[in-house]
Amino acid sequence: LRHVSKAFLEDPLRVLRVARFAARFGDFHIAPETLLHMRRMVEALELETLSRERIWQELSRAMEETEPLRFIETLNHCNALSDVLPASFEKQWHQEAAQERIRQAMQLIDRVSPRLNQRMACLLRFISSTEIQEWAKGSKWPNEITDYCQIVADFEVVHTKLIAKDMLAFFNRADLWRKPNRISELLTLYEALGVDTAIWVTLVNQLMGIDAGQIAASVSQRSNVNELGKAIHAELEKARLLLIQETLSQ
């Protein structure tokens, strides 16, 4: 692509669109002089004039293209990563080992899932869920995308350590009890990434088998009615934690 008029320089959105076209078309090449103009627009802070909603729109569309990594590469070439993604992502991208991990994960997931939430989560899974939340809020990302990315980032921290209380905290954060399908989807995602999730699959099945109604009935017989809700919750937490501990010890 070569810029054809001054109009190119008057619309910073074209920086993101050029990057998206690179993700869509495998044989798409950007002329050096065009890339130079893109860099100058970024350096002049032109992208800051775009609404966060427009930036998200271009990012989300790029992540659903055939080669989303080319979008990231193009943004990096014109120094625009920090305008589109959290600061920690740019730092990781400039570290050889971290970049390779991101590339491998994205290449694997591109083959098995075109879903935006999974692609975004793979891209950001080595960033803290707190940073994801802060960036996404300021960048006007959809809540369901933000939440899923945070859950995956949390899982990245806990899945290898296998500490019972941390695992239970993760299940609570991910709302396993009301949204078990979301956890099943996450585990399928990690299986596609080559991670052994057998213990997690077992735990999900066992935890969902706990009879909350029976526990509630038992607690109701011996608890003050004013504190019944808290008592039931505490007993459920105790049962869930015990089950996780027993499963890990086997």
Q: Where are the domains of the chain?
A: 1-84
Q: Give the CA diameter of the chain.
A: 79
Label residue 250 by pLDDT band (50, 70, 90).
confident
Query: Could you tell me the two tokens for 139?
Result: 């960048």
**pLDDT tens digits, residue range 40-50?**
999 999 999 99
Q: Tell me what pLDDT residue 225 has.
A: 65
Q: Tell me what pLDDT residue 217 has.
A: 85
User: H or E element: which one contains 148?
Assistant: helix 143-158
R_g of the chain, CA atoms, integer Å: 22
Tell which residue, 116, 241, 96, 226, has the closest CA to residue 170: 241
**Rounded-to-integer distance, Cα 236 and Cα 207, Å:** 10
Amino acid letter, 156: E
**Rounded-to-integer distance, Cα 204 and Cα 173, Å:** 14
The yes or no reply on domain 1-84 and CATH 1.10.110.30 is yes
**Rounded-to-integer distance, Cα 232 and Cα 98, Å:** 44
**Rounded-to-integer distance, Cα 117 and Cα 148, Å:** 7
Check pLDDT > 60 for residue 2. Answer: no
Tell which residue, 150, 147, 151, 136, has the closest CA to residue 184: 151
Check pLDDT > 80 for residue 114. Answer: no
Label residue 107 by pLDDT band (50, 70, 90).
confident
Check pLDDT > 80 for residue 1. Answer: no
Q: How many CA atoms lie within 13 A of 150 on its CB side?
A: 21
Average pLDDT for the chain? 91
The one-character DSSP state at 163 is: -
Q: What angle do CA 227, 228, 234 make, to 5 degrees?
A: 95
Check pLDDT > 90 for residue 210. Answer: yes
Q: pTM value?
A: 0.89
**Rounded-to-integer distance, Cα 250 and Cα 246, Å:** 7
Label residue 119 by pLDDT band (50, 70, 90).
very high
Q: What is the distance, to the nearest Å, from the Cα of residue 179 to the centroid of all Cα atoms in its chain?
A: 17
Residue with more model confidence, 107 or 240: 240
